[in-house]
Structure 1
Amino acid sequence: MPAERAPDWLSAGDALQAILAGVQPLAAEERPLMQALGSVLAEDVVSPVDLPPWDNSAMDGFAVRAADVLGASPEAPVTLPVVDDVPAGHFASRALGPGEAIRIMTGAPVPDGADSVIRVEHTDGGVEIGAAAGRVTIHLDADTGRNVRSRGEDVDEGDVVLRAGTVLRAAEIALAAAVGRPSLRVVRRPVVAILASGDELVPVEEFEQVRAGRRIVNTNSYALAAQLAEAGLEARVLGIARDTPESLIEHLKLAAGCDALITTAGISVGEHDHVAGALQAMDTEVDFWRVRVRPGSALAFGRVGALGGIPWFGLPGNPVSTMVTFALFVRPALLRMCGHTRIHFPSMTVRLAVPYSARGDLMHLPRVRLDRQADESFLAQLTGPQGSGIASSMTAADGLAIVPAGAELRPGGAVRVVVLNGAPLVEQPPV
């Protein structure tokens, strides 16, 4: 940040609250049903029909009247003439009369007059079906009054089958299709711009420069794009800006049309940290800079006026710091922009396997692996060295332990852990 701005040093909870207060759900749009998975419904969906639309069979078997087969058993079977054959997608040619049976397949409409479907396993399978002499012998009456799915058993015409605010999973998509909706109005999902900066960075395609000891790979853009995809969001990677105001402004302008902007690195007070200056030139209003967490203290948030006031998330440059701050601060905000109310990873209280000291005035977020014990409890093990540049500490992590500033934890002590990529999401923030 500019030298004249002092660090705000917000607590993690205050920083998260400020970010969430600074974003709102986007406008609704109509999306084809096959493209609506994961979106949040922006309207109630009312069924124009009963589901199922007619009484139908829950089994392959024979439609009968219960009174005609009561008492049937292996010792005293009941034989009935079979007067029709109804596969799925077809209707009986006539009503069922007393003392008759109609062969029927699962899902086929139950003929008028029938109140039971005897599954084929309780019969001899029928003989000469389709001929005048067709008949079936029933060996068991256990299905009398059963295996008929009633019209409207699932949904009545006029029912609200899906409420606004519902997250559309496979089941909701199926139900929307069942009530005749080829498209739905949903909250638009944000397109998120990602910009990395630094003369030392190259894309992975230029790895030979890394091998030669001259550059490092821009891992943050790959990590953030993947984290966005995991959340069901679209990334627009703007490339790598060089450490000059001109290059940064040129790249930042590429975020035009996006709904949010994430930058990594370049917002400290070093001589070559030009991101803050470039953003200032683009009329950026900064809400805060610096949070009392480790890793990830160099977190900033604001809005870029030159890009239509879209939210800006300034993340630290170290790879672990980038991924951690995205998971705890950025992802929830973007999910809120999607219309979600459950936006936070869940947390759980576990036992710590080793001692841990959170010296200083920053809350620590060590990466941990969760090992299930014989008593079904979990033991949190550190993933190894916890430096913010050790990306491998994230690959082994199931979660982030939350250790308050100044805490001295002993082995076996209780610690709360944010479960990364845990489900279901929750409304209550973990920090």
Structure 2
Amino acid sequence: MSDADWISFDEALALVLDAAAPLGTERVPLSAALGRSLARGAEAVAPHPPWDNSAMDGFAVRIDEVRGASPERPVVLPISDDIPAGAFPRGPLEPGSVARVMTGAPVPEGATGVVRVEHTDGGPDVRVRIFDDADGERHIRFLGEDVQAGDTMVERGEELGAAAVALLATAGCEQVDVGRRPRVGVLANGDELADFDEFEEVRAGRRIMNSNGYALAAQLAESGAEPVPLGIARDDPGDLHRRLARAESCDAIVSAAGVSVGEHDYVKQVLDELGFERSFWRLRMRPGSATVFGLLGGRPFWGVPGNPASALVTYETLVRPAIRKMAGFARPCRRPLRCVAAHDLRGPRHVLSFLRVLIGSAESGALTARLSGPQGSGNLGSMLADGLLAIPVGTDAIGAGDPVDVIPLREWASPA
């Protein structure tokens, strides 16, 4: 493993995704399905809504009988029915009358609209005065207008958000089949690292905190995986062997640091001893060039750089898509946003550069991208970003106002 491959980012991503396979399914209660991938497309067993119902509190009417109503010339009609939510009409709407109806309640046959209560006197007795005919053909939600029986409500591989969970509930899906969460070992490497029980060493300036272990575990959890902490491997091949052995039950491993060319970087040596099948080591990407990927015991193994920003960027671009594929998501890669550069940007011409950026909006309405801080591979604070802006190979400068692609990392709010 001493020879570098220096492949392109696209080649590396293709190799990573090719090695990732969905891990199978499990059945969970609908209440525990949020954020999981749906393993089988879900069909509606009944139409939704299940009947024509009112979108407003008001009065069900026939348009021809309220046309021309105004504050100066109100239309006065008797109330022939009163339909609260949970009840049903006594029958069709009687000609020359209205039916009081609440939001969500069925509207009687023959009604063409629901005049909202704000456009009436409220119907204080057996009659109602209607002051506006604008609602005479509005505010009825028709049977099946949202979903028809037999429609596929949620596609296989979709991430189950709140709306999808609600749709599954309407179909009576108390239990759902979802993709199994990958169990991923998280390993940090280096004598210089400390955990919380050694934080006094950090305070004294003799060690650095193992931020990568916690960051990678958090990224895995956000991606839909179950992180399995393997601790900190010291600069000792024996310790590294022992910690990798703890990952026996894991579906994949992500290891931070120890994959470069330093005298005490033992990860590649130990991997070779364990029969590692390398796909690549080093690629034309910044940050994250010193990345190794392959199969260890048939399982995907990533060795990401130890510098914090490099580790997090490498995870987002080369690990997360594979983890999402293993978890059964149909779209493992985030969709890029089209933005314009808020200021001039530079990057080395010979590699694909990912810059950490904040997203805003210009007066024109276009999304803008500006650097989130210093871009050094050790600048962890700049990862409090909205996205990663890609400067492609062959480009060393982007001018203010030029179009750029940004991979979103989190939700963002435009400035007030």
Fold-level match, TM-score > 0.5?
yes
Q: Which amino acid aligns with 2:280?
A: F
Q: Secondary structure at the match of 2:278?
A: strand
Q: Deviations over 1:266-298 (max 9, x none)?
A: 223444322233334443322221222333222
Q: Deviations over 1:185-239 (max 9, x none)?
A: 2222322221002121111342211122321111111221232234343322221
Change (3 A) 1:97 1:42: same
* Residues 1:17 and 2:11 are matched in the alignment: no
* Residues 1:91 and 2:85 are matched in the alignment: no
* Residues 1:152 and 2:144 are matched in the alignment: yes
Match for residue 392 of structure 1 among 381, 390, 394? 381
> What's 2:44 paired with?
47
> What's 2:299 paired with?
310
> What's 2:169 paired with?
177
Change (3 A) 1:126 1:408: closer
Change (3 A) 1:135 1:187: same
Match for residue 25 of structure 2 among 28, 41, 44? 28
Residue ranges of structure 1 left out of the alignment (5+ in a row) = 129-133, 425-431
Q: Structure 1 residue runs of 4+, over 6 Å off?
A: none
* Residues 1:203 and 2:195 are matched in the alignment: yes
> What's 2:121 paired with?
124
* TM-score after normalising by structure 2: 0.86
- Give the whole-Å Cα distance in 2 for the aligned partners of 1:139 and 1:397: 50
- Give the whole-Å Cα distance in 1 for the aligned partners of 2:131 and 2:406: 58
Change (3 A) 1:194 1:61: same
Contact map agreement 2:388 2:406 (CA 8 A) in 1: yes
Q: Secondary structure at the match of 2:246?
A: helix
Residue ranges of structure 2 left out of the alignment (5+ in a row) = none
- Give the whole-Å Cα distance in 2 for the aligned partners of 1:262 and 1:311: 9
Q: Secondary structure at the match of 1:252?
A: helix
- Give the whole-Å Cα distance in 1 for the aligned partners of 2:198 and 2:269: 29
Larger radius of gyration: 1
> What's 1:329 paired with?
318
Contact map agreement 1:401 1:415 (CA 8 A) in 2: no
* Residues 1:343 and 2:333 are matched in the alignment: yes
Shift of 1:86: 1.6
Q: Which amino acid aligns with 1:291?
A: L
* Residues 1:101 and 2:102 are matched in the alignment: no
Q: Deviations over 1:57-104 (max 9, x none)?
A: 122112344454445444443433324322111123444433333321
Q: Secondary structure at the match of 2:104?
A: coil
Match for residue 397 of structure 2 among 406, 409, 418? 409
Match for residue 256 of structure 2 among 261, 264, 271? 264
Change (3 A) 1:97 1:408: closer
Aligned length: 410
Change (3 A) 1:380 1:403: farther
Shift of 1:357: 6.1
* TM-score after normalising by structure 1: 0.83
- Give the whole-Å Cα distance in 1 for the aligned partners of 2:187 and 2:340: 37
Change (3 A) 1:138 1:319: closer
Shift of 1:364: 4.3
Match for residue 235 of structure 1 among 202, 220, 227? 227
* Residues 1:163 and 2:155 are matched in the alignment: yes
Q: Deviations over 1:5-49 (max 9, x none)?
A: 422222222222211111122212223223222333222221111
- Give the whole-Å Cα distance in 1 for the aligned partners of 2:407 and 2:43: 37
Change (3 A) 1:353 1:56: closer
Change (3 A) 1:353 1:310: same
- Give the whole-Å Cα distance in 1 for the aligned partners of 2:166 and 2:277: 44
Shift of 1:340: 2.9
